[in-house]
Amino acid sequence: MTEIKKELLYTGKAKDVYKVDGEDDKVIIKFRDDITALDGGRKDTLSKKGAYNALISAKLFEVLEEHGVATQYIKLVEPDQMLSKSLDMIPLEVICRNIATGSLLRKYPFHKNQKLEPPVMQFDYKNDVYHDPMLNDSIITALEIATQEQLDKIREITHVINKVLSKFLIDKGLILVDFKIEFGFDKDGKLVLGDEISPDTTRLWDAETLDNFDKDIFRKGEEGVVDAYHKVVNLVLTDEEKDKWNVEKI
Ligand code: CDP
């Protein structure tokens, strides 16, 4: 099993990134139990949340890899720890929406739950000081966050990710309402999907009831967010995967 060298490279709002002994092109990403929302205005620590998010992210990255999408993910080493390729991250939050909800309803005259076909894609600047403002192509290129060619590629890959994950999740009874992803460059300069895809960063609705199985439960100040994430784990993992990671004992 890969040993974590106790050298913390980076700590974010819900994940820590550690160096891997003797392997500079790899990192261990540890998913913590911390949860934040409302631009840091609501915070909590919820037991098991980190492991559930790591298990769900790992599964969705595996599904994407099977469909030819390059990801940072190598393997899970513990239920809450992911061995990953080290990436030079692009400070963009790429948001893709299939249904109008959340900030889209607060900011624009969309109808509640309006279907978005084609999906709406948006780029936010990952920058706490500026509170993650929305960008457009000319601001992104002027700030040298990415080139136009890289942005075009990011859009293309994000459309593929949306198609693959929407299909995978609807087969499990979940609607992929929207999601946020991040990209980076690996040691060879290749554009790769990084970060996580979990109920912290997506909206997942029960296909029958339209109930939330995502961070909106926490944003609304309601109870049951970890139970909802647990349900997503049970829906997306196979029985073998659940046994392997002893999901019921986490
Ligand atoms: O969550 P809120 O309504 O403020 O933002 P949104 O723009 O409607 O979020 C769209 C999607 O991106 C949701 O699935 C969010 O969970 C996700 N997101 C995220 O993971 N991190 C952010 N900083 C912003 C959005």
Q: Is the dihedral of CA 143, 144, 149, 153 positive or negative?
A: negative
- Tell me if 214 is assigned to some domain: no
Residue nearest atom 7 in ligand 1 by C-alpha distance: 103
- Tell me if 212 is assigned to some domain: no
Q: Does residue 163 share a domain with residue 131? A: yes
Q: What are the b/e assignments for 72-106, b being 16+ CB within 10 Å?
A: bbbebbbbbbbbbbbbebbbbbbbbbbbbbeebee
Q: Each residue of 159-193: pLDDT tens digit?
A: 999 999 999 999 999 999 999 999 999 999 999 99
Q: Residue 49 is part of a domain; what is its CATH number?
A: 3.30.200.20
Is the CB–ligand 1 distance for residue 123 below 6 Å? no
Q: Does residue 188 share a domain with residue 96? A: yes
Name the one residue in this structure whose structure tokens are 């400070």.
91
Is the CB–ligand 1 distance for residue 206 below 6 Å? no
Expressed in angstroms and rounded, the spacing between residue 139 Cα and the centre of ligand 1 is 21
How many domains are there within the chain? 2
Expressed in angstroms and rounded, the spacing between residue 101 Cα and the centre of ligand 1 is 10
- Tell me if 130 is assigned to some domain: yes
Q: Does residue 109 share a domain with residue 190? A: yes
Is the CB–ligand 1 distance for residue 103 below 6 Å? yes
Expressed in angstroms and rounded, the spacing between residue 201 Cα and the centre of ligand 1 is 6
Q: Does residue 240 share a domain with residue 192? A: no
pLDDT in tens, the chain (250 residues): 455 557 999 999 999 999 998 899 999 999 999 999 988 899 999 999 999 999 999 999 999 999 999 999 999 999 999 999 999 999 999 999 999 999 999 999 999 999 999 999 999 999 999 999 999 999 999 999 999 999 999 999 999 999 999 999 999 999 999 999 999 999 999 999 999 999 999 999 999 999 999 999 999 999 999 999 999 999 999 999 999 999 999 9
Q: Does residue 233 share a domain with residue 202? A: no
Is the CB–ligand 1 distance for residue 195 below 6 Å? no
Q: Does residue 202 share a domain with residue 156? A: yes
Is the CB–ligand 1 distance for residue 64 below 6 Å? no
Query: Of 89, 156, 155, 88, whose CA–CA distance to 126 is shortest?
Result: 89
Expressed in angstroms and rounded, the spacing between residue 163 Cα and the centre of ligand 1 is 19
Which residue range is the domain that position 83 belongs to?
A: 4-87+225-249
Q: Does residue 111 share a domain with residue 34? A: no
- Tell me if 97 is assigned to some domain: yes
Does the reported pTM lie above 0.85? yes
Q: In this predicted structure, what is the pLDDT of residue 40?
A: 85
Q: In this predicted structure, what is the pLDDT of residue 4?
A: 56
Expressed in angstroms and rounded, the spacing between residue 105 Cα and the centre of ligand 1 is 12
